[in-house]
């Protein structure tokens, strides 16, 4: 209801929903989908085979590769965003240059949310494997909390137009950062302190990628 009151059902709402849909199309692969479904059982197996040190090493290898893939994907999508929005995500907006421009701008702000969402899902999978459920369960709530806060500010200040969509888009990205921070801190407290490793296709990572491909199909 607050969303409808703040942005209505007009061009700004349409642009925001279309732009927000774009990073979410990758969730099936990178976040709660195939990649995470493959990672969790392998992480649990590493704990059984090599203890927490083996699991930490495996997690660092996966984190490096996943972050590298997501970073390259994000850069490519940011550069190609106008073409992607016009031809794939919202071809119906082509006759409305202002709406198309707004959708493109919002998508460029929100697409990096995919990085936070995917790495956060990996951390949440680790926590669930360690039977630490609270942080993984509470983190997603912050998307709603932050968006409601943004909407309250918009309503209080009487804002309207494109600036409302931009504030919501930045709110989505901020929520992603907060969610990732919550599960990262929780993972460190659970004993899994992940450092950054240069992306390498180790045997364990290759096994993970093949398993993820199986789940995706």
pTM for this predicted structure: 0.89
Give how many domains the chain has, as a whole number. Answer: 1
Residue 101 structure tokens? 């421009």
In this predicted model, what pLDDT tens digit does every residue of 170-208 receive, in sequence order?
999 999 999 999 999 999 998 888 888 888 888 989 998
What pLDDT is recorded for position 3? 59
For residue 25, the enclosing domain spans: 2-216
**Mean pLDDT along residues 87-115:** 90
CA angle, corner 216, sides to 213 and 59, nearest 5? 60
With a pLDDT cut of 90, the percent of the chain lying above it is 49
Of the candidates 107, 140, 109, the residue with the CA atom closest to the CA atom of residue 25: 107
In this predicted model, what pLDDT tens digit does every residue of 65-93 receive, in sequence order?
999 999 999 999 999 999 999 988 888 88
Query: What are the distances in angstroms from CA 115 to CA 26, 98, 186, 193?
Result: 10, 28, 18, 19
Of the candidates 212, 185, 195, 180, the residue with the CA atom closest to the CA atom of residue 60: 195
**Cα–Cα distance for residue pair 55/145, rounded to 1 Å:** 33
Contact 185, 132 (CB under 8 A): no
Q: How confident is the model at residue 211 (pLDDT cuts 50, 70, 90)?
A: confident
9 has pLDDT over 70: no
Three-state SS string over the chain comes to: CHHHHHHCCCHHHHHHHHHHHHHHCCHHHHCCCHHHHHHHHHHHHHHHHHHHHHHHHHHHHHHHHHHHHHHHHHHHHHHHHHHHHHHHHCHHHCCCHHHHHHHHHHHHHHCCHHHHHHHHHHHHHHHHHCCCCHHHHHCCHHHHHHHHHHHHHHHHHCCCCHHHHHHHHHHHHHHHHHHHHHHHHHHHHCCCCCCCCCCCCCHHHHHHHHHHHHHHC
Q: Which of 70-74, 86-90, 125-129, 153-157 has the highest mean pLDDT?
A: 70-74
What pLDDT is recorded for position 123? 93
5 has pLDDT over 60: no
**Mean pLDDT along residues 107-134:** 93
**Cα–Cα distance for residue pair 174/168, rounded to 1 Å:** 10
Of residues 187 and 37, the one with the higher pLDDT is 187
Q: Mean pLDDT across the chain, nearest whole number?
A: 88
What pLDDT is recorded for position 60? 92
């Amino acid at each position: 209801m607050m969303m409808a009151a703040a942005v209505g059902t007009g061009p700004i709402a349409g642009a925001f929903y279309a732009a927000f849909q774009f990073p979410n199309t990758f969730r099936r692969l990178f976040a709660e989908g195939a990649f995470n479904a493959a990672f969790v059982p392998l992480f649990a197996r590493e704990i059984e085979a090599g203890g927490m040190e083996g699991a930490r090493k495996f997690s660092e290898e996966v984190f490096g590769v996943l972050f590298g893939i997501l970073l390259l994907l994000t850069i490519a999508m940011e550069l190609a965003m106008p073409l992607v929005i016009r031809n794939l995500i919202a071809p119906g907006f082509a006759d409305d240059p202002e709406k198309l421009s707004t959708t493109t701008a919002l998508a460029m702000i929100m697409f990096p949310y995919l990085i936070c969402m995917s790495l956060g899902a990996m951390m949440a999978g680790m926590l669930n494997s360690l039977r630490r459920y609270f942080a993984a369960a509470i983190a997603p709530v912050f998307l709603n909390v932050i968006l409601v806060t943004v909407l309250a500010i918009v309503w209080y200040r009487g804002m309207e137009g494109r600036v409302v969509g931009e504030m919501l888009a930045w709110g989505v990205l901020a929520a992603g950062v907060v969610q990732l921070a919550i599960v990262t801190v929780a993972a460190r407290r659970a004993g899994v302190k992940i450092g950054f490793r240069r992306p390498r296709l180790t045997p364990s990572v290759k096994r993970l990628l093949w398993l993820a491909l199986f789940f995706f199909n």
